Amino acid sequence: MRHMRFRAFVARLSSSLVILLCFAHAPAVSAQENLGANERSAGEAVAPVELPPVPPAVTAAVAPSSTASKADALLLYKQGRDLETAGKLADAQAKYRASVSVCDKELAADPTRMDAYTVKCWSLFRLERYREVVDIGAAGLKVKFDARIVEVMGEAYFHLNDDGRAVKSLQRYLDNVGEYGDRVPSAYFYMAESYMRQKRLDHADIAYSIAVYREPGIARWWYRYASLKEQLGDYGRAVELYGKALRLSPGMTEAINGQARAKARL
């Protein structure tokens, strides 16, 4: 049964790769279209995170409301992201908490407002309140399915070390948004990280390859992919991938050391 599931996984992701290669000459997905942050390397502490700006797609994903409070919730969240990108973490957290408060008021007035569930989950995630993300997300999904909530729940499950549910949620997101949803690169990255912790290295290899293809501008993702290749004994490929990480972040100590280790094994 396990081998059957693996073959199905490979077939699904191989199909994804075929689609991606067909669009190889299309404009690459911008780093600004990725909200991925808090990428936690398997078995290690959270590394410093490069936070892209909030993409226009996030604004479009939450429909405008006739009430000022709806606009305020999303605005507060976006302001928090901008402050976090600028390194003003305390100010950012205050914005996220304010966004949560606005969403709570909206949900008290209308428990079926899916945008309020979504923005609240995003804000709670930025506050690293991962268990609450899962709980609020589950409550929202009882009202109506929303792929945005499923995806952020998958990332939250990862940070809660629940890799089984993380992979399940992220796969569900991918199944529902297709190959070009805003969070597809991050979904594949978090799947790869979960597979690494599960020691399912072949699965991780495929997921990492799609993640970096779709979002090539995040140094840490290349570093994690290189680490896997080094672990698999593919030292030549590891050297190449560490190099990609270093081109984006020349001072990344882990990539410098990893590339030196891999070169020594050639």
Average pLDDT on 44-53 reads 37
pTM score, whole prediction: 0.76
What domains can you pick out in the chain, each with its CATH number? 2-217 (1.25.40.10), 218-266 (no CATH)
- Reported as a single tens digit per residue, the pLDDT across 142-172 is 999 999 999 999 999 999 999 999 999 999 9
Q: How far apart are CA 77 and CA 56, in angstroms?
A: 13
170 neighbors 190 (Cβ within 8 angstroms): yes
| Token representation of residue 25 | 């000459």
Give the number of other Cβ atoms within 10 Å of residue 4's Cβ.
Answer: 8
**103, 73 in Cβ contact below 8 A?**
yes
pLDDT at 67: 44
59 contacts 74 by C-beta, under 8 angstroms: yes
Angstrom distance (rounded) from CA 34 to CA 149: 16
Mean pLDDT for 73-87 is 96
